[in-house]
Amino acid sequence: MRIITTRTFLVLAVAALTACAGATESGPEEPSVPVVQTTAGEIEGAWTDETEQVSVFRGVAFAQPPLGDLRWRPPAPVDPWDGTRMATEFGPACWQGRNADDSPYARGELPRSEDCLTLNVWSAAEAPDERRPVMVWFHGGGHTAGVGSATVFDGTAMARKGVVMVTANYRLGPFGFLAHPALTAESEHESSGNYGILDHIATLAWVRDNIAAFGGDPGNVTIFGQSAGSWSVCVLQASPLARGLFHKAIGHSGGCFGAPRLHLTKTGGMATDRSGHDAGIAVATELGAEGDGPEAAAAMRAAGPEAVMDAQRAARGGSGVVVDGWVMPTLADEIFAAGEQNDVPVILGSMSDEGRTLYAGMAEPPRDEFVAGLRNQYGDRTDALVAAYAAELDTSTKIAGQAISTDRSFTWQMRAWARAIGDSNDVYLYFFSHAPPVFRLYVPDRPELDFAGGRRGAGAYHSGDLAYAFANVGLVGIDWNDRDRELSDQMSQYWVNFATTGNPNGEGLPPWPSYDRDTEGAIEFGADATAAVNAVRKAKLDLFDRSYQAGTSN
């Protein structure tokens, strides 16, 4: 199958006119290339393989490069162009640090640039009027790293399953999430920070305006993401700016509930304690940009990207979503409690062993020291925690610490998200406990760097579900087995079904119950089978409720 594009249509029209005129000779056949007319201009993509069934358009700009005066501003629309632009190469990653080569999250020597606001589209539609469901992916990486063009996110297999797949970059770290009084003062919305979230919203606006040309349905868009990408999905469900831009949501291992977010509260023009402004002021100070007026903003924008990254590291400032009164009017907990979120069907879930790789560097103190640390943090709940995690603690304090962090930071978050939506038949919870081989996400052409040699000793680790959700088992990593391939077919088909109808269930798949507070039904992607379960780790998760309800990080 192929898209009938502007150029293909014109070739067919000329051939038809020639035939009507009685011509007996024909010239050489024009090579088939996928070409699409976007609102800004025509782009030419490529076929993913020689079968010419799936077209891919790489490195498509969805906003102007956020350079110079556009740094730390909302994304600006792309300027129109004449002629045809090539969309055959992925755009560079947004500015970020580099993980060590021995990390499963290593990204290698990625090309990096501030000119990075691009997206990629895969489609197997034969004509623009097919109106296939659309899936838009936001990558993880702590809002400080990652890229939408990682091989594990290749959209070919999902396009063959019937969706139009979009992956996108967004500004990261201090470029995507830096708030500062000088930036707030120049904003018509009295807001700064959250530029990475605004990039997501610009991506969705581009999809609304252009995806029909690729055979997609702008009225049936599913957003999904993992880790920080899932935090983004959570924020987008809470944000009034994203209303109407998506119609379903999937969150893998990351939510925006409970833990306090930075606020942009001000007194007399100065940021108060624990505000997003404080973090930005620390970065600006490292850059030598003092004050809260236009001069400070100009000095910050004059700094090179390397200097900004160095300043952020030196300031030890966080890079995260802020409650700015515009993108995020208040905390997500409060938005959902008031029923003011974007009310769409959701799939939510996590891995059983998120912390094995994510917290691989966690210390392993003696047992008495570990328990004393728990008591300092959890007070009268410590004995219950020690009892709940007795098996892990008997193995080692490091394993216990990783297990507690896994449930507190991920399993609890996804349950909290499901509970926040309330009783609905449109919420589906999953728990992924099958241990995949450990593979590198971003270095597909360096098999000698496969983390842990493809072994499964890390359990169901953070990011281990990505190849399954994209039906890319075998495209990355090594040591896949029959259960991996079966689970990849199941998970990706659940996702496609959900994107199509809002319900993941379908022919040939194990039944997936919708979530309700009484039974807390879910689907478990287990080592031997995929099956419905109830109340996943409920007794453990209940131990963390009070910490989050108290509005503290404890």
User: Over the stretch 212-253, which tens digit does the pLDDT of each residue have?
Assistant: 999 999 999 999 999 999 999 999 999 999 999 999 999 999
**CA-CA distance, 111 to 175, in Å (whole number)?**
16
CB-based contacts of 515, cutoff 8 Å, min separation 6? 418, 424, 427, 428, 429, 521, 522
3-class secondary structure per residue, 116-183: CCEEEEEECCCCHHHCEEEEEEECCCCCCCCCCCCHHHCCHHHHHCCCEEEEECCCCHHHHHCCCHHH
Q: How many CB atoms lie under 10 A from the CB of residue 239?
A: 25
HSE-CB of 338 using CA atoms within 13 angstroms: 11
Q: Characterize the bridge pairing of strands 42-44 and 84-86.
A: parallel
What structural domains and CATH numbers belong to the chain? 6-549 (3.40.50.1820)
Asked whether the beta carbons of 242 and 192 are under 8 A apart, the reply is: no
pTM: 0.90
pLDDT above 50 (res 374): yes
Query: Using 50, 70 and 90 to split pLDDT, how confident is the model at 73?
Result: very high
> What SS3 class is residue 36?
strand
Burial of 23 (0-12, 13-18, 19+ CB in 10 A): exposed
pLDDT at 17: 33
Average pLDDT for 23-28: 48
3-state helix, strand, coil in the chain (%, to 5): 40, 15, 45
Q: Where are the beta strands (DSSP E) in 214-293?
A: 216-226, 248-252, 262-263, 266-267, 270-271
HSE-CB of 252 using CA atoms within 13 angstroms: 27
**CA-CA distance, 89 to 120, in Å (whole number)?**
9
CA separation (Å) from 49 to 60, 317, 393, 497?
A: 20, 45, 50, 25
Nearest to 309 by CA among 496, 497, 132, 176: 176
pLDDT at 96: 85
**CA-CA distance, 45 to 124, in Å (whole number)?**
13
As given in the structure block, the two tokens for residue 416 are 């909290």
Asked whether the beta carbons of 509 and 493 are under 8 A apart, the reply is: yes
**CA-CA distance, 425 to 167, in Å (whole number)?**
28
User: Over the stretch 189-209, which tens digit does the pLDDT of each residue have?
Assistant: 999 999 999 999 999 999 999
CB-based contacts of 184, cutoff 8 Å, min separation 6? 190, 191, 192, 264, 266, 277
Asked whether the beta carbons of 281 and 180 are under 8 A apart, the reply is: yes
Nearest to 438 by CA among 484, 396, 487, 407: 484
Nearest to 351 by CA among 432, 470, 434: 432
pLDDT at 7: 40
Asked whether the beta carbons of 154 and 475 are under 8 A apart, the reply is: yes
State the Cα angle at 360 between 354 and 362, rounded to 5°.
110
pLDDT above 60 (res 446): no
| Mean pLDDT, all residues of the chain | 88
User: Over the stretch 80-120, which tens digit does the pLDDT of each residue have?
Assistant: 999 999 999 999 999 987 655 555 555 566 788 999 999 99
The H or E element spanning position 61 is strand 55-61
**CA-CA distance, 553 to 230, in Å (whole number)?**
20
For 266-329, where are the alpha helices, taking DSSP H only? 276-286, 294-302, 305-315
- 342-357 as b/e: b if 16+ CB within 10 A: bebbbbbbbbbbbbbb
CA separation (Å) from 382 to 88, 361, 373, 538?
A: 56, 23, 9, 17
User: Over the stretch 447-473, which tens digit does the pLDDT of each residue have?
Assistant: 444 444 345 678 999 999 999 999 999
**CA-CA distance, 108 to 320, in Å (whole number)?**
24
Catalytic residues: 227, 354, 462
Q: 10-19, 296-305, 394-403, 536-545: which range is least confident on average? A: 10-19
